[in-house]
Amino acid sequence: MKDFNYINIVLDIYRCSVLVLVAPDKESIIKGYQTVFKKFKCTGNLEQDIDDIKEVLKNDYAYKGTTFSFSCSPVDTCVLIYADNLMEVTYEIIVHELYHAMKRVCSTHGIEDEEAEAYMLEYLCNQFWDAQNNWKAKHPEYKKNKKKQ
């Protein structure tokens, strides 16, 4: 099992957050989720969430990333992405998955205004890219698209 990274993007105005969990394999995603569940003192059902994650991850459509909702207050939407580290997450994948996360947050909170949705998506993406840049600054040895030997 390899390591995992995560970013918890807090949406203060809605009193919730979107968790982006990045890991290279299913076992690391589950281990990462268990870790952040405990770290954020989530009030949901960990065993049920793990069962739900396993069910989602066994499907082929969860190849590079998937988004799902769960009752894990204060986090209410989780984005799971297969990648070795934060720098391996492409713009296309993160925008796609954060779009789903934004729609779920808006649905949960009764938001139907397109402008509010657009601002939320912009905020989520910028928070992810800021975290990605911070990770890169802490790992100067990393070069994007580094060829594996």
Joined tokens for residue 84: 């070795």
Please write the tens of the pLDDT for every residue from 86-96. 888 889 989 99
User: Would you state the pLDDT for residue 147?
Assistant: 46
Q: What tens digit of pLDDT does each residue of 18-62 get?
A: 989 998 888 898 899 899 888 888 877 888 888 888 887 777 555
Q: Strand ranges (DSSP E) for 1-110?
A: 5-11, 16-23, 65-72, 75-82
Reported as a single tens digit per residue, the pLDDT across 96-121 is: 999 999 998 999 889 999 999 999 99
Q: Is the dihedral of CA 45, 50, 51, 52 positive or negative?
A: positive
